[in-house]
Chain A
Amino acid sequence: MKSFVRFFASLELAIACMVLGLILIFIGTLDQVNMGIQGAIDRYFYSFLVFWNVPNSEIAIPYFPGGYTLGFVLLTNLITALFVRFRYSWKKSGVLLVHFGVITLLIGELISSMMQVDSAMIINEGESSNFSEGRDIVELAVMDHSHSTQTDRVYAFPQQMLESQQDLRHDDLPFTISVTQYMPNSVIQRRDGNTPAEALIVNEGFGTEVYTVSVPKTGKMDDINYPSAVLSIFDSSGELAGVWLARLGLLNQKFSFQDKEYSLEIRRKRYYYPFDIKLLDFSHDRYLGTNIPMNFSSEIELTHPERGENREFLIYMNHPLRYNGLTFFQSGFANEDTTTILQVVSNPGRHLPYISCMLIFAGLTFQFGQGLLTFAQRRTKKS
């Protein structure tokens, strides 16, 4: 037991973790060229093991510890070292602070990696929005149009249910949707002689003319994944009522069931908020005579009826709106500068790096300052 603890608290283990981390980050960065930044994060940094896929086969061989493994081992190492190995004294307090800082940093990154949610709110000038859309997460939305002409009732099924091909049911829906096929990313093709049999079972909507082919997921910044699914709709007696093809971007597939109008679509996952954001004005200035952006800004009006709040705010670069645990950043624009794209981030761990920065700065300065002082004293003594 003692030797086990000593191993976990050892400096050798810390150095080994750092060397492996160095290599991991290096190869991960190189692979970002191929698989995009997000792709490499999933594969190298937010994973326990890094796998090598044997070409032309399903076999994956782990060959390197992933970011989570290294992070956890380093964290354990640091914490056990604090109990076992560190000698507590005034002189060493700087070192101690630095290591507390590193622990905070690692925990902060762990929290971010698991809990940070990114989404985008797209608003046209003069319009308002109360939801944002996830970048890479979708949902299956079934809309019931029969309630009123103004509003639809929407039933949203999360992506995980599509991935695991569960049957989709809701008490208020008179039918069940069974996920016959799900592709995380797909391209669309017109039906022809080569159409595979699985695709031919679609007998309603756009899917009677086109079918989708699965392609590998992309993690690149400018590329978009187009998930698609083949959905079979059964009535309460288990009778097949129709088979549909749904894909991100295929809109307005309507059908009636028991005299009610429904439609279904795969769309980006929506996060709804209890407040509205209205875009009053978007401006985009460029430097004179160039295309270099000088400034983008969105003038918005925030309304929170429950709290009776109503205020205006200017969001621009390096100046986000922080509200309700969310942060709204100016991230892009569209439609000839009349539409703003705000990035909405919720990250419960975002304060930790600030604390860690202060700890590390204070610790390193104290420690190295002490070293410098001793050095200077020795020099004066010599001369």
Chain B
Amino acid sequence: MKKYAPSIIAIAVFLLYFASNYRKQSPNTEIDYAAFGNTPVHLNGRIQPMDSVARNALLGMRYKRTFIDEGKKTPAIVWMTELMMSPSDAHDRPIFRIQDEDIRSLLKLPKKPSPRSKWMIALLGPGSSHFYYSFREIGPSLKTISEQAQKAQELEDAQRSRFQKAVIDLARALSNYVGISQSLHHGSVDSFTNELAELEGFAPAGIEAVNNRQMGLEYDEEAFNQMMAIGYLYQGFEQSSNLLTLPVIDDAGEIEWQKTSYLLRQVLGEGQASEVVKSYAAVVDAFRTDNPEAFNDAVKALHADLDAVDDTLVSKAGVELLFNFLEPFYVAAAGYVLAFLCVIISWIRWPNVLNQAAFAIICTCAVIHTAGIIFRIYIIGYAPVINLYSSAVFVGWGSVLLAILLEYLYKNSIGNVTATIIGFSTLLVAHHLSAGGDTLEMLRAVLDNNFWLATHVIIITLGYSATFLAGSIGFIFILMSVFTDRIEKKSARSMNNMVYGIICFAMLFSFVGTILGGIWADQSWGRFWGWDPKENGAILIVIWNAIILHCRWGGFVKVRGTMNLAIFGNVVFSWSWFGTNMLGIGLHAYGFMDAAFPYLLAFCAVNVLVILIGLLPPRMWKSQIA
């Protein structure tokens, strides 16, 4: 028992953190926001909970999934509930982050006082990049923004200036904002429930007036005009909303998703609105009259009505809500940092205890990381890698698992330190890639094939993972043996074996993965190999791994050479993974991004620098490896 004490304590501490992070997700209010967040709606081609809509929408405006309410970090759903039900209050919340100076001066937006205290400003600067504005502040300039965005839209993405890109983003965020505010109710009257009752009461007279007029008979002019006004109002309501909230069973017995404005057709056609609409109305009214109890009851009723349409809707949305609340990738990233600190300290003090603790945390993180991937697979119904974001998550996952295996086999803390660095850095990259919004996106027709997603994409991504892992071990090896005396002959040899084994794995997976990709391309585009940038990137990794292996087999390189070659593998890997996507051409350009170019360059530069350090003559190294 005593033997495992460090592991048990470490896991316990980490799980406590996990639990506290989960608790933070539902605010401690009378209104049960979490329950409302569980409500399923249809957006971006898939059914998702309101909570996901809120998080992704806020991410597009504030570049964060939370906002500040009375000085406290608050979940996005609180903001979105208010925006949907009582927009005039929400319009005062400063949730639009406008970083671009040109936009700020174009819109004549005031400079905001820095939220930082004086000594923080002295230390970090005023944080001028964080300018948050409310809809009311931006409101007067909506026309200017849409004009500028329209002009920018006419250009190709590569030709747009920074200002133009920013203005397009802002216009998109604003239209999304308006769409959300009009998704549940048009807001022209205070009580949604009363409006429904009046509509239902008035409908027969209104229909009669319209029909009579059309047939040239005598008609009630007042009723006719009122009917026209209602039609006009609902037309606008339909156009501005962007959420599909109502699951309606069509004639074929299948579920068809409609916007809330569809209720008018229900009332006119069937005499009354559906139960789901009525429950939504009750939810909206309860919020507007500030009645938390009624709100919570109405949400329960709403879910019961949705269950009546299809009893899987709420529970499936609940799974995604749970995924949002658990934040598995965020928690795992934090865990990798914690484990990294343990390893680093273990090199100075308490080596066995801390290393054991680190290994325990890494394994727990790996479980959470895996759980996150499984959640995503379940939610979207595709194999795990569907876009650049998920590839980052998956590359990290594959590397961490391999590194855990290495640590298990060699127990020299090298596996631990690489697992933590790669785990954290890939999840950080993924976090930045998710800034575009919903990462659980539907796949374009050509990619919509689970067989190839599960074979080609998974295998090649594992090949990337292994290449990156080998490079990272090389990286650590060079730094540690040049600057410290921790690496002796024996550990040099075992690290060399590690790198060799991992490169063999990388070779197998990247080669087979690339050829499988060719076969997929032959199946769907009619050519095995088209010299598309992404294909070229993949073959570069294969060639580079082949070069390393041949150099070893031929005896041209020993330990140091293998390590340096492996580090250059990082450069090749980063080019293939991201660089090729920055070119913005070809059939694989599924995740176009150019903003990250400086980071890519910096990553390559650092690796090349370490290679140069590794080229220093061994007598200048602190560790004697030969």
Contact = CB atoms under 8 A, between A and B. Distances in A.
Question: Are these two chains actual partners, yes or no?
Answer: yes
Interface of A: 11-12, 14-15, 18-19, 21-22, 25-26, 28-30, 32-33, 36-37, 40-41, 45, 105, 108-109, 112, 116, 118, 221, 287-290, 292-296, 316-318, 320, 327, 329, 331, 343, 345, 347, 350, 353-354, 356-357, 360-361, 364-365, 368, 371-372, 375, 379
Sorted nearest first, the 7 A-B pairs with minimum C-beta distance are A287-B45, A345-B526, A357-B515, A11-B554, A364-B508, A318-B524, A317-B445
A364 B505 CA distance: 9
Contacts of B444: 292-293
B531 A40 contact: yes
Interface in B524-549: 524-533, 536-537, 539-540, 543-544, 546-547
B44 interface: yes
A30 B584 CA distance: 11
Contact of B512 (A29, A33, A357, A379): A357
B519 A21 contact: no
A208 B294 CA distance: 82
A108 B242 CA distance: 50
B204 interface: no
B527 A345 contact: yes
Contact of B442 (A33, A287, A296, A343): A287
B508 A26 contact: no
A135 to B, nearest CB: 12
21 contacts: A11-B553, A12-B554, A18-B546, A19-B547, A22-B540, A25-B540, A287-B45, A287-B442, A289-B43, A290-B442, A293-B445, A316-B445, A317-B449, A318-B452, A327-B526, A329-B526, A353-B518, A357-B515, A361-B515, A368-B507, A372-B501
Given A350-B522, A357-B512, A289 B42 contact: yes
B445 A329 contact: no
Contact of B511 (A26, A36, A360): A360
A294 B584 CA distance: 22
**B interface, by DSSP: helix, strand, loop or mixed?**
helix
A360 B244 contact: no
A224 to B, nearest CB: 17
A343 B547 contact: no
B393 interface: no
Contacts, number: 160
Interface string B253-277: 0000100000000000000000000
> Interface residues of B toward A: which range?
35 or more
Contacts of B533: 29, 32, 37
A68 to B, nearest CB: 13
B448 A295 contact: yes
Given A22-B540, A317-B446, A372-B501, 5 more contacts: A22-B572, A29-B537, A32-B583, A329-B526, A368-B505
Contact of A37 (B409, B507, B531, B547): B531
A32 B526 contact: no
Contacts of B242: 289
A29 B580 contact: yes
Nearest to A67: B531
B550 interface: yes
A375 B540 CA distance: 29
B586 interface: yes
A40 B242 CA distance: 43
A360 to B, nearest CB: 6
B556 interface: yes
From B442, B516, B519, B532, residue with most partner A Cβ within 10 Å? B442
A296 B556 CA distance: 53
B105 interface: no
B445 A28 contact: no
B442 A292 contact: yes
Nearest to B520: A318
A41 B585 CA distance: 14
Nearest to B441: A292
B446 A318 contact: yes
A28 B504 contact: no
A18 B515 CA distance: 17
Given A11-B554, A37-B530, A294-B445, A26 B257 contact: no
B344 interface: no
Nearest to B500: A371
A343 B44 CA distance: 30
B523 interface: yes
A41 B531 contact: yes
Nearest to A326: B526
Contact of B504 (A33, A353, A368): A368
A112 B448 contact: no
B610 interface: no
B109 interface: no
A58 B524 CA distance: 41
